[in-house]
Structure 1
Amino acid sequence: MTEMMRAIVIDAPGGPDVLTMRNVPVPSPRAGDVLIRVKAFGLNRSELHFRRGVASFGSFPRIPGIEATGVVAADPGGEFEVGQQVMTMMGGMGRTIDGGYAEYVSVPADQVFPFASDLPWDQLGGVPEMLQTADGSLRIGLEATAGQSLLIRGGTSSIGLALAVLAKRRGMRVFSTTRRAEAFDALRSVGVDHPLLDDGDVATQIRKVIPGGVDGAVELVGTNIMKDTLRSVRTGGVVCFTGMLSDEWTIPDFYPMDWIPNGVRLTSYSGGAADLSPAALQDYLDAVAAGEAIIPIGKVYAFDEVAQAHADMEAGSVGGKAVVVVE
């Protein structure tokens, strides 16, 4: 008899109502794959894009979700012990293979990260993609070093909050933007030194504090404000384009000499699971357990509240990472 599980399935693009829960067969892991019993998963804007039908790739019907956290249920290759705590992310999850919005997910072993932690699942579920993106933006996109100054554009997003946490652990001076002055306390709570109200001219605010500009910036809002972000950075500094909270992805009639100030470097980060090491993951979880870092969770949802979670994410009302607890 086929074992069944609950999963969220999208048959065709649309609003949050297309996220329907149904009973489907538990995946059968092949050699080289690991079956994970999902305890919790985080929500990501790329899943919102996929649900709307504007993602760059993927097919329907599909169980969405580019990340999951749980325990090993089966491993035909014998790389992991049953019951081992693990996280997984990316690698086509929720696009070309079924993803984490389910009680079980089967993924390639090379995108499975073991860890050991007593933190609750509603915290652990928010870590994989958030940590990988924030860590990769700093380490690969900016090549950030201790003592540098950093501007985070879109600071109250889950990635923005995680960036602040990681940057402060690197000993960086952090500027971070928000469109709401009432969010300043939330920014300060993750270590931000200089909360900034985003009035469209952040460069002027930055240069009142650091006349030459910051060493680096991570753009999370989109191309609609990136010109101002580029003008916030010193000559020889770097802007890393990581996110598109505004859903502004492209620049019409892009003229580099108008957009990019002299000597400022523009990079991007959109890496995958291979960019995050198990050691970096464990170090972060240990730091959280020791009270030296936090996981910026905005709101936790039950499994049958996924559609509401998507609606809240779309409305920008979560205020951090949205996490769904499966059990």
Structure 2
Amino acid sequence: MSKQMRVVEYNGSGGPEVVSLSERPVPQPGPGEVLIKVAAAGLNRADVAQRRGVYPPPPGESDVPGLEVSGTVVERGPGVQIGQGYDDGAHVCALLASGGYAEYVVAPAAQTVPVPAGVSLVDAAGLPEVAATVWSNLVMEAGIVPGERLLVHGGSGGIGSAAIQIMTAYGVDVAVTGSTPQKLEYARELGADVVINYHDEDFVARVREATREAEAPGADVILDVVGAKYLERNVDALSTGGRLVVIGFSGGARAELDLAKLAAKRGKVIATTLRARPAEEKARIMQEVREHVWPMITHKHLAVTTDRVFGLSEAREAHEYFDTGEHHGKVLLVVD
């Protein structure tokens, strides 16, 4: 009889009430994979979207949620050699397509990297998804460079917290939107130059005012998790040659786009997901993260922003808390 492990499942689609704990067999690593004994898993917007039934796992992947984990290597699949950083007991964190809300998970070795120096094994669970999302979208896709101006919608969440710090360390000026003075102060403490309360202020006007002395006023790059609701105003906020990167759709997925306005600005709209990218592309992203982002942590330019930790058996409560939108930084599930 195969060894069993606890996992978190979604019993249907809906709110946190569909989150439950179950048991399944411990998976076995295949070629190029490692088996990780999970210390903690990060909770992300994608997990919530899957719970609501609008973001299923890629074909062939586990239906168990969880796109990032930290833990220890306990077994290697064929082709994974000792001495490559995957020795038994090695502390690692990994970017996954699914399966992280569990006591054990298999991960492609190429998407598994050492825990950065100075970061606890639990806190490391909140790094892979946000670091990969920020670096791949802003640097690899949008081509942002030091000296440019970035607008981040939702600056106090996991993605926003990482974007502020990574881009500030990279030499980019960062503006953010947020919903409360507390969230905006948190973003300012992380390094945001301009903070905008979207309940009280027009972010287009604030961004243009903050960049009025630039040759082309506006944001050179916008990182957006809202989608349709902000599309028109995001285009208004772009500078000439600006790039809008859409990675979320909390404000809807369908909207009209004024192509003439976009063309006049010689702008670009980029829409991406991370989860469904090919394995070789994810591997390249994680290697760039290890090369460029991990040193930011080592040199104290990037702090780990864990907001709150729940046990695996408290996954429903963790989703209830995440849904409130009150968190500043990452919410983690610890294998209790």
Length-normalised TM-score, structure 1: 0.89
Deviation string 1:31-79 (CA, Å, 9 cap, x unpaired) is 3322111111101111111111122555898321122111111002233
**1:319 & 1:302 partners in 2: Cα distance?**
19
RMSD (CA atoms): 2.3
Give the Cα–Cα distance (whole angstroms) in 1 for the partners of residues 108 and 299 of structure 2.
Answer: 32
Percent identity, aligned pairs only, is: 26
Q: Distance in 1 between matches of 2:248 and 2:77?
A: 37
2:53 is matched with which residue? 53
How many residues are paired up?
319
Q: By how many angstroms is 1:307 displaced? A: 0.7
> Are 2:96 and 1:83 aligned?
no
When residues 254 and 217 of structure 1 are mapped into structure 2, their CA distance, relative to the original with a 3 A threshold, is closer
Q: Which amino acid aligns with 1:263?
A: R
Taking the TM superposition and a 5 Å limit, the aligned residue runs for 1:121-270 are: 121-198=121-198, 199=200, 201-211=202-212, 212-244=217-249, 246-251=250-255, 253-257=256-260, 262-270=265-273
Give the deviation of 1:162 after TM superposition: 0.7
Change (3 A) 1:204 1:121: same
Contact 1:156–1:320 (Cα < 8 Å) also in 2: yes
In 2, distance between residues paired with 1:41 and 1:182?
Answer: 26
Q: Using the alignment, how far apart are the partners of 1:61 and 1:115 within structure 2?
A: 24
Unmatched 5+ stretches in structure 1: none
CA apart distance, 1:175: 0.9
Structure 1 window deviating more from structure 2 (227-236 vs 127-136): it is: 227-236
Q: How does 1:1-150 map to 2 (within 5 A)?
A: 1-55=1-55, 62-77=63-78, 78-79=80-81, 80-90=86-96, 93-94=97-98, 99-115=99-115, 117-150=117-150
Aligned to 2:318: 309
SS of residue in 2 equivalent to 1:204: helix
Q: Is the 8 A contact 1:300 1:323 kept in 2?
A: yes
CA distance in 1, matches of 2:116, 2:147: 31
- Which ranges of structure 2 fall in alignment gaps of 5 or more residues? none
**Residues 230, 261 of structure 1: 8 Å contact kept:** no
Q: Structure 1: which 4+ aligned runs deviate by more than 6 Å?
A: none
